[in-house]
Amino acid sequence: MRSNSPFAGVRNYSVYGVLLIMATSLFAASGVYSYTLNSIDGKAAPLAEYKGKVVLIVNVASQCGYTPQYSALEAIYEKYKDQGFVILGFPANNFGAQEPGTNEEIKTFCSRKYNVTFPMYSKISVKGSDQAPLYAYLTKETGPGISGDIKWNFTKFLVDRSGNVVQRFEPAVTPDSKEMVGAIEKQLKQ
């Protein structure tokens, strides 16, 4: 049955507009939680498992000048994990072939050399045509001051308890720096 009302078309557009806004809001609200990648052991590990936690996402490498940051990463993880903080390590071989190993080799290296206990994911690409969807989101959809190409290993993204990326730290900013610890503590208090 067709309506003769002059507002019938407007009503339809309004309904579609509201649905589009709701769908966009729902997607945007999910932030990093909409991504699932494989753990270092090859099992699906959805980031949604970390809902309600403050998350630090880091692209890591075993043969980089910044590799010793694993020690500081593990230390801040141990210090804050009971307050709802987690670090997620994403090995990547994009810069100077500094992560050439297999997932098993990376896992062994991290646990033996740095006693890493925070969650590690399977090796991914953080830039280029084979960039992992999570990193496409982090580098293209997170807004001014946060988005932008990954320049090197150990770039860090701080995510609030709602899944929103709130801050980016370049590789030279160490995990135990005043700047990073202050940002983590601020998010943990919210």
Section 134-159 average pLDDT: 96
The pTM for the full model equals 0.84
Determine the Cα–Cα distance for residues 129 and 19; give it in Å rounded to an integer: 32
User: Please, are residues 130 and 97 in contact by the beta-carbon 8 Å criterion?
Assistant: no
Is residue 10 situated within a structural domain?
no
Rg (CA), the chain: 20
Is residue 1 situated within a structural domain?
no
Tokens of 72: 């500081």
pLDDT digits (tens, 9 = 90+) for 85-113: 999 999 999 999 999 999 999 999 999 99
Q: Which comes out higher in pLDDT, residue 32 or 21? A: 32
Look up the CATH number of the domain holding residue 107.
3.40.30.10
Tokens of 129: 């045509």
Is residue 56 situated within a structural domain?
yes
Determine the Cα–Cα distance for residues 6 and 88; give it in Å rounded to an integer: 55
Is residue 5 situated within a structural domain?
no
Catalytic positions are: 64
Is residue 21 situated within a structural domain?
no
Is residue 113 situated within a structural domain?
yes
Domain that holds residue 143: 31-188
Whether the per-residue pLDDT at 180 is higher than 80: the answer is yes
Task: Please calculate the CA angle 115-120-126 and round it to the nearest 5 degrees.
Answer: 125
Among 148, 150, 149, 169, smallest CA distance to 158 is for 169
